[in-house]
Amino acid sequence: MASSLIGSRVERKEDKKFLTGKGRYTADINLANQTYAYFVRSPHARATISKVDISKASNAPGVVKILTGDDLAKDKIGGLIAGWKIVSQDGTDMKCPPHPPLANKAVNFVGDHVAIVIAETLDQAKDAAEKVRVNYKVLKAVVNTGDALNSKAIYDGIDKNLSFDFLLGDKGKTDEAFSKADKIVKLDLVNNRLIPNAMEPRAAIGDYNSSSEELTLYTASQNPHLSRLILSAFNAVHPEHKFRIVAPDVGGGFGSKINAYAEDAVVAWASKKIERPVKWVAERSESFLSDNHGRDHVTHVELALKNDGKITAIRVDTIANLGAYALVLGTVTPTYLYAPLLVGPYDIPTACCNVKAVYTNTAPTDAYRGAGRPEATYVVERIVTEAAKEIGMDQAEFRKKNFINKFPHQQCLVHNIDSGDYHAHLDKALELSDYKNFENRRSQSSAKGKLRGIGFSTYLEACGVAPSAVVMSIGAGVGLWESAEVRFNATGNISVFTGTHSHGQSHDTTFAQIVGDRLGVPIENIDIVHGDTDKGPFGMGTYGSRSLAVGGTAIVKACDKIIEKGRKVAAKMLEAKPEDVDFKDGEFIVKNSNKKKTIGEVAFACYLPGTFGDIKSPLPEGVEPGLMETSFFDPSNFSFPAGSHICEVEVDQDTGETKVVKYTVVDDFGTVINPLIVEGQVHGGVAQGIGQALYENAHYDESGQLITASYMDYTMPRADNFPEIKLGFTSTPATSNPLGAKGCGEAGTIAAPAAVMNAVIDAIDTDISMPATSEKVCNALQKNKKNKEAA
C-alpha cells in the first residue's frame, strides 16, 4: 500500500485553500495599528543627489514618518550584498559598488529606492510621496550590455564597469584544438533580458514588538531563513534570535523572491523606528522596475569540428549584465551556474569560457528560473544546430554522434555526470513528435502559405544546488545544504519542518508522499510546515530545482533516524532484539512472528513511556523520550536532469506572426514522486521558455527608461499562445541522493528557448534574435526576399 505513494498522481493537499479563496499571501495580512508605506523611487537611470527635502511632505495629512538614506546611514543599516565572490582570471576579487537600501547621494537605475513615506493610509502615503523634493543631477547612463566595457565608468574604482573577468576551462588546450579543427562554426548571440513576473507582486510587512523586542517581517520570500541571515548579519536590521521572518503563501517566485530586497530591510527597520507595523505591497509597475531581472547576455561562441561531425572543442566569450548592483545570486548565475554547462550533454574534449560581468544603469539581474543554465543551453543548442547544418547532418544524428554515452562521465569543465541515457530520451522524443513525417507537415503548411520549421534542444542541466564539495572545488565560498525535522506527535500524526519553501512547487503533497511512503502513515496525517523561521530549523530555501533532491533527501534521512529509534523502542515493547525487528508499511514486526507494533503505538510510547503490560517503560536504557529527528543534508554532487525538446513553428509570411504548432518534451528527471505535479512544472517551464523566445523582452531606451514596464508593454504569454504540449519521460535515477530524484522545476525554461529559435530560424532561413516577434520576423523575411531578388 505505502510504496505505491512514490510515482502516484496524488491530488494536491494544498489546493483547497487556494481554490476557495483562503490562501494567505502577504498582502492579505492586516495587523492592528498598521501603517502603509510607499517608496519614492528614482525617475532617472543615473544621477547624483544633493538633497532630499522632506519638509513639505512630512506635514502632509496622515504622514507618520519619512525616512531617507541619511537616516539609514545614521542607524548603521548595512548595504545589500552579493552572495558569491567571484575571482577574476588575474586573481583579483570581483568589484561591487555600495548598495544601500535607500540611496545615499546617488541613484543608479530607474526605480532605485530614495525614501520611504509612511502614513495612516496608502493614499496619504502616495500623496505625500509626491511632495518629497529630490535634487537630482542627471548623469549619462550606461545601458547596453555590449557597450558597457567601452563606456565611462559608473562607479569610482570600477574601471570599464567591469565587476570581474571570469575564466573557466583550459584556454591553451582549447585554442590548440581550434587550430587543428577541420571546421569552425561561429555565432553571435544575445540572451534577452527578462522580467520574472511572479503573479503575486512582492510585499513586506515589518512588525516590531517593543515589549518583547521581537521583530517580525512578513515577506514574499523563497527562503525566509536566508533572508533573516542576510538582514541580520549584513544589514544589521535586528539580531537573528529576535528576528522572525514569515513567508506565508507566496504567489510564484521564479528566482525573483530570493533576494532580501531593499524594501524588506527598510520596512523592518522602519517598524522598529515607529513601533508600529509598516505594510508595503508592490504595484505591478514597481515589480517591473525593481524586482531582479534575468538573463541579459551578449555572447560569441565558436565550435571546433572534425569533418565527420565530431565536436572537438567549444570556446565562449560572454558579457553578462549585472545591472546596477551585484545581488545575492547575481554573480554566481553567469559564472558557476552558467559556464560549466557550456559543453551540454556532449562528449567534448576541451572547452573554455570567459565571462565579463558588467555594471549598467538598469535593474539588477539575478537568478530567474533556470539561472545560468538557460543561457548556457541556448548557446550550446544554437551552435550545435548550426554545426549540424554546416556539416550537412541530420539534427538528431549529429547530436547522437556527440552525446556522452558512458556514465559516470567526467566532463572537461567541472561536472561529473553520474547517470543518464541521452539516446533514450531523444529516441522517444523523435517518436512522440512523429519526426519522420516532418517534411510532410512542412509541405502541408507550405500549401497554406505558411513557413514551417523544426527545432531541437537536447539539454543537460545541473540541479540540487549546491554540493559544498563541488562548488568549493571551483572557488565558490559556500555550498547549500538543506534541513528537515520530522516530528511525530504523541497521537501518531506527523509534522514535517522543511527548510525549503513552496510557492507553487507542491511541497505539501510531494513531501507528504515521501514521508507517507517511508513511515507508512497516511498522507492526511502528515503536515508539511515551511515558511516561518520560528518553526523548524535553518534552511536554505527553494531555487535551483533543489527542494526534492536536497530538501527531500533531508526528510528521508530524518525519517530513517525515526525508524531506527522506533526500532529500539518497539524491540523493548515486543521483548525482542532490535536487530530482529523489521519495519515495513508502518509496522515494526519481529522476524518470523506475528508480534508487531504500529509506528503510531511506538510514537505514543515514546512520549508517554508508562507501563505496557509487564513492561515498566518501553524506553530502553539510554534512549530519550520523544520521537523527533533532524537531518541536514549536503549532497555529494549535483543531480543532472536531461531531455529532448522538439518544437515546430508556423510562420505567416505576410505578417511574420509565429506560432508554436507542435511541441514535444521527453525528460529524464530520475525518480518522479508525483507525475501530476512534475508534468505541471514542465508545462509552466516550457511556457516561460516559449515566452522568452517569442514574446518577452525587457527593453530600456538609451536614457535608461524601462519601456516595457506594464502588462500593456511587456508581452506575457497568454493561454492562446500555446498548443498542447506533449510530454514523455525516461528515467535514470540520480546516484547522489537516496530518492534518485534529479529535479524538474527549471528544465522547461532551460531547454525551450533554443528549441523554439532553432525552429524559427529553420522556418525563415535567416538568423534572428529573441524574442522573434511578428515585427522582427516580418522584417527578416522582407530582407531575405530583397537579398534573394538582388542575387
Residues of this chain that interact with another protein (CB under 8 A) are 11-12, 14-25, 27-28, 30, 197-201, 249-252, 254, 283-285, 503-506, 676-677, 679-680, 683-688, 710-712, 716, 718-720, 722, 724-725, 748
The residue among 82 and 677 lying less far from another protein, judged by its C-beta, is 677
Single out the residue of 366, 344, 227 nearest to residue 296, CA to CA: 366
Query: 406: helix, coil or strand?
Result: coil
The residue among 724 and 789 lying less far from another protein, judged by its C-beta, is 724
Q: Check if the beta carbon of residue 647 is closer than 8 Å to that of residue 662.
A: yes
Minimum CB distance to another protein, residue 395 (Å):
25
The residue among 21 and 157 lying less far from another protein, judged by its C-beta, is 21
Minimum CB distance to another protein, residue 489 (Å):
26
Q: What is the DSSP letter of 93?
A: B
Minimum CB distance to another protein, residue 660 (Å):
11
Single out the residue of 393, 460, 456, 381 nearest to residue 422, CA to CA: 460
The end-to-end CA distance of the chain, in Å, is: 71
Minimum CB distance to another protein, residue 625 (Å):
39
Minimum CB distance to another protein, residue 379 (Å):
24
The residue among 419 and 506 lying less far from another protein, judged by its C-beta, is 506
- What angle do the packed helices 262-274 and 224-233 form, to 10 degrees? 60
Minimum CB distance to another protein, residue 66 (Å):
23
Distance CA 71, CA 440 (A): 69
Minimum CB distance to another protein, residue 408 (Å):
33
The residue among 21 and 392 lying less far from another protein, judged by its C-beta, is 21
Give the three cell numbers for residue 494: 506527523
Contacts of residue 130, defined as CB under 8 A and 6 or more positions apart, other chains included, come to: 57
The residue type found at 607 is Y
The residue among 285 and 495 lying less far from another protein, judged by its C-beta, is 285
Helix, strand, coil shares of the chain, percent, nearest 5, are: 30, 25, 40
Query: DSSP string covering 21-78, please?
Result: T---BGGG---TT-EEEEEEE-SSSSEEEEEEE-HHHHTSTTEEEEEEHHHHHHTTPP
The residue among 665 and 741 lying less far from another protein, judged by its C-beta, is 665
The residue among 391 and 660 lying less far from another protein, judged by its C-beta, is 660
Give the three cell numbers for residue 175: 585554442
C-alpha pair distances (Å), 662 with each of 347, 442, 518, 723: 29, 12, 40, 6
Q: Check if the beta carbon of residue 499 is closer than 8 Å to that of residue 538.
A: yes
Single out the residue of 364, 381, 375 nearest to residue 336, CA to CA: 375
The residue among 198 and 298 lying less far from another protein, judged by its C-beta, is 198
Strands 297-305, 183-191: pairing is antiparallel
The residue among 83 and 201 lying less far from another protein, judged by its C-beta, is 201
Preceding amide of 408 cis, omega within 30: yes
Minimum CB distance to another protein, residue 309 (Å):
34
Minimum CB distance to another protein, residue 506 (Å):
7
Give the three cell numbers for residue 123: 493614499
Minimum CB distance to another protein, residue 199 (Å):
4
Q: Check if the beta carbon of residue 666 is closer than 8 Å to that of residue 747.
A: no
Single out the residue of 739, 744, 748 nearest to residue 678, CA to CA: 744
Minimum CB distance to another protein, residue 638 (Å):
25
The residue among 407 and 722 lying less far from another protein, judged by its C-beta, is 722
329 phi and psi, to 5 degrees? -110, 15
Minimum CB distance to another protein, residue 771 (Å):
16
The Cβ of residue 695 has, within 10 Å, a number of other Cβ atoms equal to: 18
Distance CA 217, CA 271 (A): 9
Minimum CB distance to another protein, residue 32 (Å):
14
The residue among 4 and 30 lying less far from another protein, judged by its C-beta, is 30
Handedness of CA 643, 644, 650, 653 (dihedral sign): positive
Distance CA 413, CA 264 (A): 38
Q: What is the DSSP letter of 320?
A: E
The residue among 20 and 33 lying less far from another protein, judged by its C-beta, is 20
